[in-house]
Structure 1
Amino acid sequence: MRVFLPSSLPALADILERGEVAGPEIRAFAVVGEPDPDGGADDEELAYEALLAAASASLRLLAADPEAPRRRVVLAADVPERIVEPETGASGVASVTVAGTVPLKRVASAHIDDEAAIPDIEAAIADPDADVGPEHELMWYATQELRYVV
């Protein structure tokens, strides 16, 4: 199951050093439940919505860490469905809890803001009603590139 884990650059550096995303329970976002039979969003659109939900959660992590570089980070990981617990009654894009750890080998990619997004990220942290803006798409990184990013 693909999950999207909100993070930050300091947390990513720690993850790379340890080789895993650790925690007793890891908060993430995923597409859960059965697809809408009446033709709502397709799987790719729902996965993108889950990525954006994790990016919003990354903003909250940045707000809690004033020293962190102002760039959202989202890790996309493939984990066994048996370790993922969605919110009760959730369907579609939902907050989920991942039990245990996520080894770095399970991380498929990272999605990180470009430095040009920093002013809008700072504004979004200062004002929860501010929008990061659609012009700031998260950039895709393969896991092999991450050590150069941090």
Structure 2
Amino acid sequence: MRVYLPATIAMLRDLEANGEFRARSGTGFALTPALREAYVSGSDEELEYAALLDAARASIRLIAAEEKAEPRRVVVSADVENVTLRSDLDAPVVRLDGPVPLSQIAAIHVDAPEATEAVAAAADVIDAADLGDEDAEFALGDAEDHELAWYAPQELPFFLELL
């Protein structure tokens, strides 16, 4: 199953150093049966993209929690076998049973440098957005308007070197 794992730049550095990715609390997002049921229509590709966007929003939460985090959303796409569906948490949520080796990572999605200001602002107000603050929701939307760039796993060392 293709899973989308929220991450930070620091977590990418750990991936490069250790050769495996450890999802925070083992949480990921995927095209689950519950996600498919939540949408009236949509191709698999569109629903996978929705799961990726949920992971990108979770990345903002990780940035908010990480002191001195680089304000760029990161999502690691991986193909893993053993996941537990967690629709009790939200339709696309899955739980991994352990770390994901680099060999199972399909792609890494990262914000371009132009998004850092919007992502930093969103990280500052993400909790308020969850509580319905309209200004905070607007700031979150500004960050989510930026598309994530795509990198192959073998490009990770070069990407990190250029930061």
Q: Please indicate, yes or no, whether the TM-score normalized by the shorter chain is above 0.5.
A: yes
Residue correspondence of structure 1 range 66-77 to structure 2 within 5 A: 66-77=67-78
Q: Following TM superposition, by how much is the alpha carbon of 1:88 offset from its aligned partner in structure 2, in angstroms?
A: 4.2
Q: Following TM superposition, by how much is the alpha carbon of 1:138 offset from its aligned partner in structure 2, in angstroms?
A: 0.2
Does the CA-based 8 Å contact 1:21-1:104 persist in structure 2? Answer: yes
Distance 2:101 2:15 in 1: 9
CA deviation string 1:31-75 (max 9, x = no partner) = 111755x96111000000000000000001000113121101000
SS of 1:136's equivalent in the other structure is coil
- Distance verdict in 2 for CA 1:54–1:85, change over 3 Å: same
Residue correspondence of structure 1 range 125-144 to structure 2 within 5 A: 125-128=123-126, 129=137, 130=139, 131-133=141-143, 135-144=145-154
Of all paired residues, the percent bearing the same amino acid is 39
- Distance verdict in 2 for CA 1:125–1:41, change over 3 Å: same
Higher relative contact order (CA 8 A, sep 6+): 1
Q: TM-score, normalised by structure 2?
A: 0.81
The unaligned stretches of length 5 or more in structure 1 are none
> Which residue is equivalent to 1:87?
86
> 1 or 2, which has the higher helix percentage?
2
> 1 or 2, which has the higher strand percentage?
1
Distance 2:117 2:64 in 1: 14
> Which residue is equivalent to 2:129?
none
* Aligned length, in residue pairs: 146
